[in-house]
Amino acid sequence: MISKALVAASLKPFILSILADGESYGYEIIQRVHDLTGGQVQWTTGTLYPLLHSLENKNLLESFWREADAGPRRKYYRLTAKGYKALATEKQQWLSIHEALLKLWGPSPTLSPA
Amino acid sequence: MFHLDTALAAWRRSLSTNRTFSNDDLDELEQHLRDQIAALVKNGQSEKAAFEQAMATMGEYGAVEREYEKVYWEKLWRRGMLQNELSWKLSMFKNYLTVALRNLRKQKGYSFINIAGLALGLTCFILIGLFIRFEWSYDRFHAKADRIYRIEKINPGHTYLERDHFAITPAPLAAVLMEEFPEVEHAVYLDKVNAGLAYKDNQFYEDGLLATAHFFEVFGFHLLHGDSHTALMEPNAIVLTESLTQKYFGEETALGKAITVTYFGPHGPDALEMTVTGIIEDVPPNSHLVFDYITPFASSAMFQRNRDSWGTSTSYTYATLQAGQPVSAFANKLAALSQTYNDDEDNPDDQSYYYPQVLTHIHLRSNANFEFGVNGNITYVYLFGAIAVLILLIASINYVNLATARSTTRLMEVGVRKVMGAHRLQLVSQFMGEALLSSMAALLLALGLVVLLLPTFNALTARAITLDWAQDGPFLALLALIGFVIGTLAGSYPALVMSAFQPVRMMKKQVGHAQGKTTLRNVLVVAQFSVTIALFIGAVVIQRQLHYIQNASSGIDRDHVVALPIKDESLLERYDAIKNALQQHPAILGVTASETDPTMIDMRATTSDWEGAPEGQQASAYFTPIHYGFVDMFGIEVVEGRDFSEAITTDATEGILINETLKRQLGWDTAIGKRLNFYGRDTHVIGVVQDFTFQSFRQELAPLALLLAPEDVVRILIKVRPSNTPQTINFIEDALTSFSPDFPFEYYFLDDAYNSMYQTELRLGSLFNTFTLLALIIACLGLFGLATLAASQRTKEIGVRKVLGATLTDVLVLLSKDFVRLVGIALVLGMPIAYFVMRTWLDAFAYHISLSWGTFVAAGIAALTIALLTVSYQALKAALADPVKSLRYE
């Protein structure tokens, strides 16, 4: 499992990146993260939605309701222009940390020391 | 059977009362749960297990709410709904307030008892608090207050009026302190003086100070005009207070003007022209030095006596130490000083020594002989402090008790609120808010009462206490804190306990009569009444002792005696003519004269020469020179021999009257005709008078001698009829003024002077009475409230009992029994406390009443009766009520 702190830090870039692929809703976002990380990153529902709302409050996302063919309506989120800019910044920050760590660990890092 | 829809609905409801979740939020969350559960069910899980897992991934309990709370305000802000939210909060607050006020109004009786009781308690607390603060503030206004010392003389083994501390010291001391003690910054020698001041038509006697030049270096009295360094340099200088300046000079400029000052000494008056060299602010009321003007000792030759003598202590020495100098080292040096300077040849092995008394301790902690004025007493400060705390405790107990008791009548309301979705926090704030509202109302009421009562209180305590809103911030803050704490305590029981009950049980009234809480309430009532009973007994004992002091047979009839101090010495030569003139008036029953007041004879002389005196033995006795008729006019009984007689001329030169104690001390079986060398005279005893009280009741009877010395008397004493005294006084004034037109007429009543010795006790008595009465009222208010409640809670029971044939008495007993038992326990606890405290107090008096069990029994019966009367009103009302009415509802 990945540590709680790292999961928390990765929430925002994950959300922004997933929504950059196209609009989505909360359950789908959680599922995609689950699939992408092979179940290594587990988000609780109680932290995802408040963060979505908070990002919406900061105008990085916008939300809209969509009536489903069957069943109740669903709330979708998509990136705003400001959201794309924020994603670019996030990306840059994560990559620079990633690169720095790579320099330390060598060109082809292994998961466990030999 | 598990139903997903039901479970989800229940989950939704649990969040729906929380305002941080909007409907949209809940829709979104619900849809999420449904997606998740559907996926899990597809994987083969049961609906129930899927629901539980979905709930588990929601996050820890309460975490969701917290997370949503974080973004809530952002959301409101973004959507421009902040205003809405605030107005919602405000309307909820308005709702709380409305309910609180409605509750106060609906239960007028309770509200009154609650608020009035607490307000009374707080009023006492504030008044006593102000009094203590005032007592504490004495002499602290001097800039150097913490390093000013009054030098006292301690004379171990040589007691005078049962004390060996003397506030007065020899005159050369101040100068020696300045010269030989580098740690002394300045020293000043000062004394009280009463002189006639005259400027144009204004002519009065005024109290002032004689002082040496460094007065203003030592003390921080603020000079408004003039130079503090030179103001007292010239012998003819005088410094006046602002109000004295106003009295004599009005709007005129006083500085530099001449004013006539007339001193009165043993060798006649000395009238001097003095120049006003300074004007100071009025002496603050919390100064132990009280005066209206200051002049130098050098102003008159009559103050030069004993100026160089180390053998006579006549006035007060004050010194300031350099900042940072330890007082212990100074005290040690000072103690050794009396060995260096001792010119008392009669007493070569004098053990006396000097001691520095901290200025700020003089008022409350010093009880030396010849104090400057009447001091306060630290014991009484502690005593009143304790009373203040106790009264506040009684009032707070009432308040808490009533609030908790009353809360049980609101079970239905709380139940309904909870059913309607009220949060625990909302209920807590409702109850807390109500309690705080009434405690703050009580505090405001109390402050109003304090402002109203302060003048009366000042008259009672003889102080000038003020409450200054601007300057007393910390004090008011403390009061607000006390009000807050009491309100919180009173509110916390209903707030926390009631909000935890289950609504159904509350509405069925299945809770609220739990046993544990009644026990707590009973303990509080017992505590309250123990304190009240102890105070009550204390008040009775103090009253009886004061009555005893003022009325006990003292062997001397001092009532209705007018005393006239003689300042015009020429009056003495015309004494017989004055006496004759006075006796013309039918209301004047007798005229005599003496040197000291017969109620406070404090001059003492020592002799070793009397008939049959053992070798080397000394005897000392108090004495006063008197005129003819003294013994007769004061009704002093002559038990052996005779009184002084004008017919026998030798009485005036060699006669002496002694009291029984002196006779015993001299070891005589019969005294008449025995020789006694006393007061510089070789006398023979012509009579023995019965012992009479000639000092404070705190002192044991002491040996006393009366000498006939018409040339040494300084006051005329006139016995008048009790009726029409003002007219008689007018007659006396006219008569005296005709003999001595240049001197203002001055008089006082002897019993006033006597009572002034007990000022502190008399004041203590009346204050104690007042506060006890208030404590009693407050405690009874509480009892009344509880009785009302008990009666109302048992209405139905009483109805059933009456229907089944209970008599009026049965019901009365039923309702009063519990309270009487509580008061009974309180009696058992309160009495011993009162007994020990009052015994200690009485022991301070040489003559005091005995603490009889009668007092305690009487106080106990009184307390029980009052408690019963309080309770019986409600009991009677309940007992007389028609049972049909009480049984009909429901």
Instruction: Say whether A75 and B59 touch across the interface (CB within 8 A).
Output: no
Instruction: State which residue of chain B sits closest to A47, comparing Cα positions.
Output: B67
Classify residue A111: in a domain, yes or no. no
Q: What is the pLDDT of residues B726-737, one digit of tens each?
A: 888 889 988 888
CA distance B71 to chain A (A): 6
**d(Cα B700, Cα A110) in Å, to the nearest integer?**
105
Instruction: Sort B862 into a burial class: Cβ within 10 Å, 0-12 / 13-18 / 19+.
Output: middle
pLDDT exceeds 70 at position A41: yes
Q: Has residue A64 been placed in a domain?
A: yes
Structure ipTM over 0.95, yes or no: no
Amino acid at position B122, single letter: L
Q: Tell me the one-letter amino acid at B150.
A: R
pLDDT of residue A109: 57
Which of B22, B57, B70 best probes binding to A when mutated, by most A CB atoms within 10 angstroms?
B57
Residue A4 at interface with chain B, using a CB cutoff of 8 Å? no
* Beta-carbon separation of A49 and B29 below 8 A: yes
State how far residue A5 is from chain B, nearest Cα, in angstroms: 15
Contact B239, B224 (CB under 8 A): no
Q: Provide DSSP, B687-712.
A: EEEPP---S-TTSPP--EEEEE-GGG
Residue A14 lies in a domain: yes
Chain A hits for B31, CB-CB cut-off 8 Å, are 25, 27, 71-75
Is the CB of A66 inside 8 Å of chain B's CB atoms?
no
Per the structure block, which two tokens stand in for B62?
């309460």
Q: What pLDDT sits at residue B501?
A: 73
DSSP labels, B28-88 = HHHHHHHHHHHHHHHTT--HHHHHHHHHHHT-STTHHHHHHHHHHHHHHHHTT-HHHHHHH
Q: Please tell me the predicted confidence (pLDDT) of residue B759.
A: 73
Chain B CB contacts of A74 under 8 Å are: 28, 31
Question: CB–CB of B50/A37 below 8 Å?
Answer: no
CA distance B808 to B865: 19
Residues in contact with B659: Cβ distance below 8 Å, sequence separation at least 6, in sequence order = B688, B689, B690, B691, B692, B701, B703, B704, B705
Considering only CB atoms, which chain B residues are within 8 Å of A51? 67
Where are the domains positioned within chain B?
Answer: 4-80, 156-351, 379-549+759-888, 561-755
Helix axes B808-843, B515-551, angle to 10 degrees: 50
Nearest residue of A to residue B67, measured between CA atoms: A50
DSSP string, B429-493: HHHHHHHHHHHHHHHHHHHHHHHHHHHHHHHHHT------TTT-HHHHHHHHHHHHHHHHHHHHH
pLDDT of residue B344: 58
Considering only CB atoms, A44 lies closest to which of B39, B57, B68, namely B57
Collapsing DSSP to helix, strand or coil, B717 comes out as strand
Top residue of B11, B25, B32, B33 to mutate, by most chain A CBs within 10 Å, is B32
pLDDT at B293: 94
At B400, list the tokens.
């808490």
d(CA B774, CA B730): 42
pLDDT at B339: 74
Q: Using CA coordinates, name the residue in chain A closest to B71.
A: A54
Would you say how long chain A is, in residues?
Answer: 114
The answer to whether residues B297 and B211 touch, using CB atoms and an 8 Å cutoff, is: yes
Residue A84 pLDDT: 92
A32 touches B: beta carbon within 8 Å: no
Chain A residues with beta carbon closer than 8 angstroms to that of B32 = 26-27, 45, 49
**Residue A50 and residue B27: Cβ atoms within 8 Å?**
no
The vertex-B348 CA angle with B343 and B351, nearest 5°, equals 100
- Which residues in B lie closer than 8 A to residue A46 (C-beta atoms)? 58-60, 63-64, 67
* Residue A73's CATH number: 1.10.10.10
Measure Cα distances from B577 to B317, B572, B690 in Å. Answer: 44, 10, 31
What are the chain B neighbours of A53 within 8 Å (beta carbons)?
A: 25, 68, 71, 74-75
Taking residue B513's Cβ as centre, other Cβ atoms within 10 Å add up to 11
Task: Report whether B703 contacts B578 (CB < 8 A).
Answer: no
| Per-residue pLDDT at B747 | 87
Q: Of B393, B218, B392, B242, which Cα lies nearest the Cα of B322?
A: B218
Domain annotation covers residue A60: yes
Chain B residues whose C-beta sits inside 8 Å of any chain A C-beta: 24-25, 27-36, 39, 54, 57-60, 63-64, 67-68, 70-71, 74-75, 77-78
The 3-state secondary structure of B115-143, one letter per residue: HHHHHHHHHHHHHHHHHHHHHHCCCCCCC
Helix (H/G/I), strand (E/B), else coil: B526: helix
Closest CA in chain B for residue A29: B32
SS3 of residue B640 by DSSP = strand
Does residue A24 fall inside a structural domain? Answer: yes
Two structure tokens written together for B491: 């509110």
Gap from B33 CA to chain A (nearest CA, Å): 8
Q: Does residue A112 belong to any structural domain of this protein?
A: no
**Stretches in chain B below the pLDDT threshold 70:** 61, 78-81, 266, 342-350, 506-518, 551-553, 697-698, 889-890
The parent domain of residue A92 ranges over 4-105
Of the partner residues B27, B60, B67, the one whose CB lies closest to the CB of residue A50: B67
Q: Are B715 and B601 in contact (CB under 8 A)?
A: no
Q: Looking at chain A, which residue has its C-alpha nearest residue B65?
A: A46
Number of domains in chain A: 1
pLDDT at B277: 93
> Which of A23, A105, A22 has its CA nearest to residue A64?
A23
Cβ proximity of B719 and B590 under 8 Å: yes
Tally C-beta pairs within 8 A across A and B. Answer: 72
What is the spatial distance between Cα B91 and Cα B97, in angstroms, rounded to a whole number?
A: 10
**B233: part of which helix (H) or strand (E)?**
none
User: How far, in Å, CA of B7 to CA of B49, rounded?
Assistant: 12
User: Helix (H, G, I), strand (E, B), or coil: what is residue B155?
Assistant: coil
pLDDT tops 50 at residue A114: no
* B48 Cα to chain A: minimum distance (Å): 18
